[in-house]
Amino acid sequence: MFTDAFYVPEDRRRIGAQYALRIFLGSVTAWFALHSFGHQDPLWAVISVVMVSEPQLQSSLLAFRWRMTNTIIGCGVGIAFLWGAGPSIWSLLFALVACVLISVWIFDAPTGWRIGPISSLIVMTPGVLQHSRELGLHQALMRTVAVLAGSVIAVTIAWVLDVAIPRLKLRRGTT
C-alpha cells in the first residue's frame, strides 16, 4: 500500500528522464554559451530551453515556433507602445491587450500565447519604471537574443538525441 503511492509507470519514468536530460544538457549549454559571448543574464535562454524541450524532435520544433512567434510579437508590441505611446502604465496595459489580441486573433497561437504579453511586460517595465524608451529597446533585444539562443539549443539537443545519435548507431550496427 505505501509503495503504491510511489509507483511511477515505466513510460512516465522514461519520458521524465528524457525531459530531465534534455533540460539539463540544454541549460548547461545555454548558460555557458551565452556567458562566453558576454551575455551576462542567461535566464531567458534557460527558460526557453525548458519551454521548448520535448521528448520528440517534432514537438520541440512546434514549441520553438510558438515560443519565437509569441516572443517576437510581445517584444515588437512592447517596443511599439513604448516608443509610440511613451513609457507609462497605460501604454503597458494597452500593449498587453494588443499582444493577446494579436496572438489569438491573427496568429491563432494555441500554445504559449501568454508569452506575448509577458514579453511586453518584460520589455516595457524597465522603461516605464525609469521613464525611458531606450531601456525597453535594449531589454527587447537582449531578451530576443536569449530566447532565440535557448530555443535553438533545445531544438539542437532534440535533433542530436532523436536523429544524429540513432543514425550513428545504425551506421555502426548497434542499437
pLDDT given at position 110:
65
167 pLDDT higher than 70: yes
Distance separating alpha carbons of residues 92 and 77, to the nearest angstrom: 10
- DSSP symbols for 24-45: HHHHHHHHHHHHHTT-S-THHH
pLDDT at 144 over 70: yes
Beta-carbon contacts of 56 under 8 Å, excluding residues fewer than 6 positions away, are: 158, 162
Query: What share of the chain in percent tops pLDDT 70?
Result: 93
pLDDT band at 142 (very low <50, low <70, confident <90, very high): confident
Percent residues over pLDDT 90 in the chain: 39
Cell of residue 123, nine digits: 520589455
What is the pLDDT, as a whole number, of residue 90? 96
Instruction: Kindly report, residue by residue over 97-115, the tens digit of the pLDDT.
Output: 999 999 888 877 666 788 8
Query: Rounded mean pLDDT of 27-36?
Result: 95
**pTM metric for this prediction:** 0.78
Q: Is the pLDDT of residue 134 over 70?
A: yes
3-state secondary structure of 1: coil
Instruction: Give the lowest-confidence range in 25-29, 34-38, 83-87, 122-126.
Output: 122-126
Distance CA 97, CA 88 (A): 15
Query: Residue 2 — very low, low, confident or very high, per pLDDT cuts 50/70/90?
Result: low
C-alpha cell at 149: 539562443
Dist CA 62 CA 155 (whole Å): 10
pLDDT, one tens digit per residue, over 58-71 is: 888 988 888 888 88
